[in-house]
Each structure stands twice: as C-alpha cells, then as structure tokens.
Structure 1
Amino acid sequence: MNIAIIGLGNIGGSFAKSIRASFPNYKIYAIDIDTVTLDKAQSIGLIDGGSDDFTAIIPKADLIIFSVYPTLLKNLVESYVPYFKNGVVITDVTGVKSSVINQIEPLLPKSADFIFGHPMAGRENRGLEFSSREVFIGANYLITPTSRNLEENIDFLKNFVKQLGFGNISVITPAFHDEVIGFTSQLAHVIAISLINSDDTNRNTKQYTGDSYRDLTRITNINEKLWPELFMMNKDHLIKHIDNFKVQLDKLTQAIENDDVSTMENMMVESTKRYMDLHDLNEE
C-alpha cells in the first residue's frame, strides 16, 4: 500500500513514525512545502519519498492523510482531485468537522472516499522534531462518516488506526463531534488562555506554582495560527459552552462572596463525582 501524508509536521510526522513501525511493508510518501524537512525525513528512513509537488505523489496513493490546517484543506483537495487514484481512501485530522465536510464533499469524485477523522492526540509544539509514535498509544480516535462513505472503507480506517495503537475508536456524527469537541478541547483551551493571561506579569508567578497551575496552563503553549481557525469554525458550539461555564463560575463566585459554604461543598462534591465517573469511563 502507498500512503501519502500531506503536511509532515507534528501530527503528520507521528503518523509516519507509527505507520513505519506498524506496517513496515507500506510505502510512505509525504508532501510539504518544507523541502528541508522532507529531505531529513527521507534520509533517516521515515518516508520513502517526499516532494513539494503533489503531482509526483498523489496519483499513486492508496491512502491519503491530510494533516493540515482546516482552512487549507479545501484548496488542497480542489487541486488534488484530478490526480486521485481510483478507489483512493482519504482521511484528515482536523478538529472541526461539519463546516469542513460541507466544503469538501461537493468537490469529490465518486471514486474517492473521504472518511473524516480526528486523532485525539498530539503535542503543543510544532514541527517534525516533536512528532512521536507514542502519542498515539491508547489515545482516542474519532471517525465521523457520512452517507457517501463505504462501510468497507470505514472498517478499513478503524482497523488501520487500531493497528497504529489508538485505544477507543468512536464512530460519531459530524454534528456530535463538533459539539463534544467544543466542550472537551476548545473550551479547555479558552479557559487555560484566559487563566494565564489574567496573571500579574510583575509577580514572577513561576516561582510559586505547583502542579495544579502547571496542569491547567500546559495547553497554553498553543499554535496561534491553528486555534483561532478552530474557534471560529465551531463558534456556535463553543460560545454555548463558554456561557454554560460562566453560569457555574458565577454560581461559585456568588457562594464565595456570601460565605455560602454549603453551595461550595455541594459544587465540589458534584465535581468530584463527575471526575470519578469520567475516570472510571476512561479506565474501561
């Protein structure tokens, strides 16, 4: 099988490393505007070939993995369509689905099956040097099929990512994906950004931090080009989650102002219960 990875950065590189380890007989090709990265990846045997010219790679690809910013995806697919191999399976890694799918599917020929996916794995740092096979091990993977996808290709993608080491693989609707990711990922980033930016920069806070602050702010080492795209493309869900968060924050603020220990205790008991339920689910 010939696999083409579009974008050999953190996630694209992690796919290449994982495929190389899990499917040693597969041929891995990469397309990227950074030819230095491509040359390095080929020199260490991570890929079998790389180019900034997609016409040299796309026609022979049986599986294409797009690891690019969501706003780039439409233009790339539009350019690649005439070169798609008959029966090619395509997937992506973008963190928003409904709006992306609505842009992409009308462009596709019947002979190309684009099954949209989202690996819930990665690191904050950018670039191939930060890629890792281990980041996929045990991680969640979301697949968001549509009516045009073939069941056999959905099964292929499920088995493929399972072999790469992903743990729980969920098949969900694009709409539910955007709703739940708006809460579990995008809202978490909104809170972390707001927290660290509310700090007094003259206090030299790093001398006084513990695990709680470090854990809450870890994800603020953020790709400032990618995340605004994700926020805007999923703004309706995200704003709803921000509003719900504000309700809980206001409730806790009022309890603190009024010395309402009972409300504070009840909120903490409820949060502990929800955390334990989530922990039990993840252990399963």
Structure 2
Amino acid sequence: MNIAIVGLGVIGGSFAMGLQAAGYQNIYGIDINEETLLTAETEGMIQKGFRDGKNILQEMDVIILSLYPSQIAPFVEQYQSILKKGAVLTDVTGVKAAIIEQVAEVLPRTVDFVFAHPMRGSEKKGIEGADHKRFIGANVLVTPISSNKETSLKMVEKLYKDIGFAQVTRVTPEKHDEQIAYVSQLMHALSVAVTNSAQASEETLIFAGNSFQELTRIADINTELWSELFLNNRLALLKSIEQFERELNALKKTLEENDEEKLRKIFNQAAQKRREWY
C-alpha cells in the first residue's frame, strides 16, 4: 500500500511516525517547505518527499490530507485528474459539514473521501512538534457520507487503530460539528477570553495556580488554523457560547443576590456531572 501524507506539520508528521512504527513501508510526504521534507526524510518518517503531488499522487492508494480547512477542496480540485482510480482520501480537520460540502463539488467519482477527525491535536506548529505517541489511547471521529464504501471506511479506521488510537467512533457530520463546538472550540474560546481579560497583569503569575495554567494553556493558539475552524463552524459555536453565557449568568445571579443555596446547587450539579464523565 502506498500512502501519501500531505502537510507534514505536527499532525501529519505524527501520522508519518506512527505509520512507520506500525510497520507501514511506503510512506511519502508532500509539503511546500523543503526543510520540512528534508527533516522527514532524514529522520525516517517518510521514504521520499515532494514539493507538490504531480509526480506521486497517481501512484498513491491512500492520501492523508493534513491541511487547513481552506486548503482541502482546492487541493482535491488541483489534482483530481491524476488521482489513482479507487484511491482513498481522508482528512484530519476539526470541522466537517462545511468541508464536506466544498469537497463534494470537486471530488471525482473514481475515488473515495473518508472524513475523519483525530481527537489529539497540539498547540505546537511544525514538524519539530511531531510525536506519534500522542495518538496512543486517543479517540478518532469518522463522519461517513452517502458515497463512502464500507471497505474505505474500514481501511481508514484500521490505519488509526494501527497507530495507537483506542476508540474509533462513527458520527454524522452535523453531530460532529455540534459536539466539537462544545467540547473543543468553546474551550479554546474560553481560554483566549480569560487570557485576554483586562484583569491580566504582570503580577498574574504570582497568584496563578494549576487551574489557571491548565485553562490558559490552549490560548497559545495557531491563529490561522483556529480562525478557520471557528468560522467554518460559526453557527454551532455561537450556539455553544450562548448556552455557556446562560449558565455563567445563572451563577452570576447567585452572587448578585447573595444566594448561597442556589450557588451550592450549581456547584453540586457540576460536580456530579464531572464524576459521571470520569
């Protein structure tokens, strides 16, 4: 099986390392950065690297697109005429419905595109941050579409399991976007808002403990990527933000009214839910 990874950043590089560690032999990389390709070749992540796909994609059985959301459909459109018949494409992006709609307009019928989202990202950028061990025990969401073949879905799911993912779950693209808005994008929005608060000062870290450190960790954000993720899923994210605002206002009201009973009720409800989750 010939596999090409397009985009050898943190996630693409980690995939290359994971596939090599799992025993896959024919792994190739495509990236516009010459130094990135040299690093990937030198460290044995890939067999060979290419600046574009024109001399390699026609031979690839699986193509993993580790690209920004805005780059996926244009890439497919650019190379649609040379993709190998029966090839399986897959992505790793954190938004689905909008990207699926864009890809559907340019995807040739001779190939299959399995949309997936590995739930193990990183605030780091570049191949230097690649580490396939981040995938061990992680979850991945696969969002089937009507044109997918079962064999293609199982092939992509096997790749994830082979590189260490513990749980593979199939969900609809709509359900994916709705839940990711809550569990991921809202968390990043909160982290950014807290970090940008006017209350932050040069003395902040004197008073900060682990909770502050953990909450603000993901504010060290890839601005280009997360801007695209937010805007491509803006309606679902707006809904999550509005629901959060209602809960925060309910807590705020207990302080305004000095209502200890309601405040404790809110705390107990959250504590019980957290225990049920973990």
Instruction: Report what 2:4 is aligned to.
Output: 4
Instruction: Report what 2:135 is aligned to.
Output: 136
**AA in 2 matched with 1:268:** F
Deviation (angstroms), 1:158: 1.3
Instruction: Report what 1:98 is aligned to.
Output: 97
Instruction: Report what 2:14 is aligned to.
Output: 14
**AA in 2 matched with 1:176:** K
SS in 2 for 1:123: coil
1:173 paired with 2:172, answer yes
SS in 2 for 1:16: helix
**AA in 1 matched with 2:82:** Y
Taking only the aligned residue pairs, the percentage that are identical comes to 40
Alpha-carbon distance in 1 for matches of 2:104, 2:201: 51
1:121-160 equivalent positions in 2, closer than 5 A: 121-160=120-159
CA RMSD of aligned residues (A): 1.0
Alpha-carbon distance in 2 for matches of 1:86, 1:245: 47
Ranges of 4+ aligned residues in structure 1 off by more than 3 Å: 199-203
SS in 1 for 2:178: helix
Instruction: Report what 2:190 is aligned to.
Output: 191
1:67 paired with 2:66, answer yes
Instruction: Report what 1:115 is aligned to.
Output: 114
Instruction: Report what 1:282 is aligned to.
Output: none
SS in 2 for 1:73: helix
Deviation (angstroms), 1:200: 3.2
- After superposition, the C-alpha distances for 1:174-207 in whole angstroms (9 at most, x for unaligned) are 0000000010000111111101111534342122
SS in 2 for 1:56: coil
Instruction: Report what 2:225 is aligned to.
Output: 226
1:235 paired with 2:227, answer no
Deviation (angstroms), 1:57: 1.6
Higher mean displacement: 192-201 or 8-17: 192-201
Alpha-carbon distance in 1 for matches of 2:200, 2:119: 32
SS in 1 for 2:161: helix
Alpha-carbon distance in 1 for matches of 2:85, 2:17: 27
Instruction: Report what 1:45 is aligned to.
Output: 44
Alpha-carbon distance in 1 for matches of 2:10, 2:52: 21
Number of corresponding residues? 278
- After superposition, the C-alpha distances for 1:205-232 in whole angstroms (9 at most, x for unaligned) are 1222111101111110100111111111
**AA in 1 matched with 2:187:** A
Deviation (angstroms), 1:154: 0.8
Alpha-carbon distance in 1 for matches of 2:6, 2:92: 11
SS in 1 for 2:239: helix
1:86 paired with 2:68, answer no
Alpha-carbon distance in 1 for matches of 2:150, 2:248: 44
The TM-score, its normalising length taken from structure 1, stands at: 0.96
**AA in 1 matched with 2:62:** L
Deviation (angstroms), 1:49: 0.6
Deviation (angstroms), 1:30: 0.7
Alpha-carbon distance in 1 for matches of 2:104, 2:224: 25
**AA in 2 matched with 1:161:** Y
Flag the 1:202–1:218 CA change in 2: closer, same or farther, 3 A.
Answer: closer
Instruction: Report what 1:23 is aligned to.
Output: 23
Deviation (angstroms), 1:23: 2.2
Unpaired runs of 5+ in structure 2?
A: none
